[in-house]
């Protein structure tokens, strides 16, 4: 992504020096069977600096996915305050939430590519959703596919790509609209080591270009290889941050 523009941060947080992402006493309670509720997250507070790269660590079931889903607005906190890109999400209208979603990129553990669309159309999707003109779309999608090394597979359906290729395609889709925040939930979990490194390298490059990146992983080796601030969760509680 050689010609990528630096992401222009807009919003109140810059003027007021606020964190790009801030959780204050956030709890996530899931309704259990026969009224028995379970806490996925409890009393979680932290702040992420703008344009930072962050690990989100913890064993399976610790609450990493819950936290990331709150961050990319596919879940609403049952307690506490979630601020994303300087906006208190509980106070946003449905319309404003839609606008905010367009500034957040998401990479899921299972790539969640659309099977009825080609690789090219999958990457183009966020731009189509945002009503981008065909000319700009062609340029941006081509550039993204080159960046993740998949320009030669543009017309293939996702199902015939390898796991690593699919995950890179998912990253291309997550960042094609130049989000201010990129959230990745175990993006390397299904990949071999070489592919995992390649994916992490892409995410770090994106961070260097000014995007705030949060990557969840239950791997203990990746954070050692790529040192960065880490949020550590255990049984729904934040046990360390730094």
Partner 1 sequence: MARGALRGLRGRDPLGLRRAFADRLLPALVAAMALLAALALAGAHGAGQLAQRWQAGAAGPALVTLPAGADLAAASAALSPHAEVAPVPEARMRELLAPWVGEVPGLPLPRILEVTPTDRAGLEAAVSALPGARLEGRGESVAQAVTLAAGLRALSLLLLLVIAAVAAALVAVATRAGIAARRETIVILHELGARDSDIAGRFATRLAVLCLGGAAAGTAAAALALWFLAGAAVPVALSRPAAWDDLPWTGLAALPLAAAAIGWLTARLTLRAWLRRLP
Ligand X SMILES: Nc1ncnc2c1ncn2[C@@H]1O[C@H](COP(=O)(O)OP(=O)(O)O)[C@@H](O)[C@H]1O
Q: Which of 37, 96, 139, 160 binds partner 1 (CB under 8 A)?
A: 96
Q: Does residue 188 touch ligand X according to CB under 6 A? A: no
**Binding partner at 98 among ligand X, partner 1, Mg ion, none, C-beta below 5 to 8 Å by kind:** partner 1
Write out the two tokens for 208: 């260097």
* Residue spans of alpha helices (H) in the chain: 12-16, 64-71, 94-101, 119-129, 134-147, 163-175, 193-208, 221-225
Q: Does residue 65 touch Mg ion according to CB under 5 A? A: yes
Write out the two tokens for 90: 């509980």
Q: Does residue 79 touch partner 1 according to CB under 8 A? A: no
Using CB atoms within 10 A of its CB, is residue 100 exposed (0-12), middle (13-18) or buried (19+)? buried
CA distance 219 to 163: 18
Please check whether residue 207 is in contact with residue 51, taking contact to mean a CB–CB distance below 8 angstroms: yes
Q: Does residue 101 touch partner 1 according to CB under 8 A? A: yes
Q: Smallest distance, Å, CB 223 to ligand X?
A: 15
**Binding partner at 62 among Mg ion, partner 1, ligand X, none, C-beta below 5 to 8 Å by kind:** ligand X
Q: Does residue 14 touch partner 1 according to CB under 8 A? A: no
Q: Which residues bind partner 1 (CB under 8 A)?
A: 72-76, 94-102, 106, 112, 114, 116-117, 121, 124-126, 128-132, 134
């Amino acid at each position: 992504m050689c010609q990528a523009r630096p992401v222009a941060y807009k919003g109140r947080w810059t003027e007021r020096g606020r964190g790009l992402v801030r959780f204050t006493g956030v709890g996530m309670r899931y309704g259990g069977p026969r009224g028995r509720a379970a806490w996925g997250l409890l009393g979680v507070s932290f702040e992420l600096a703008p344009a930072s790269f962050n690990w989100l660590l913890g064993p399976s079931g610790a609450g990493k996915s819950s936290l990331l889903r709150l961050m990319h607005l596919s879940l609403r906190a049952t307690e506490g305050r979630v601020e994303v890109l300087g906006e208190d999400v509980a106070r946003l209208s449905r319309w404003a939430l839609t606008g905010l979603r367009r500034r957040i990129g998401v990479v899921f553990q299972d790539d969640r590519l659309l099977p009825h669309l080609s690789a090219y159309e999958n990457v183009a999707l966020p731009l189509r959703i945002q009503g981008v003109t065909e000319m700009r779309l062609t340029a941006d999608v081509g550039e993204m596919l080159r960046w993740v090394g998949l320009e030669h597979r543009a017309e293939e359906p996702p199902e015939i790509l390898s796991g690593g290729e699919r995950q890179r395609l998912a990253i291309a889709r997550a960042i094609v609209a130049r989000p201010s925040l990129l959230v990745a939930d175990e993006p390397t979990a299904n990949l071999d080591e070489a592919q995992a490194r390649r994916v992490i390298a892409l995410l770090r490059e994106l961070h260097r270009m000014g995007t705030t990146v949060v990557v969840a992983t239950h791997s203990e080796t990746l954070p050692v290889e790529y040192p960065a601030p880490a949020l550590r969760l255990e049984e729904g509680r934040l046990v360390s941050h730094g």
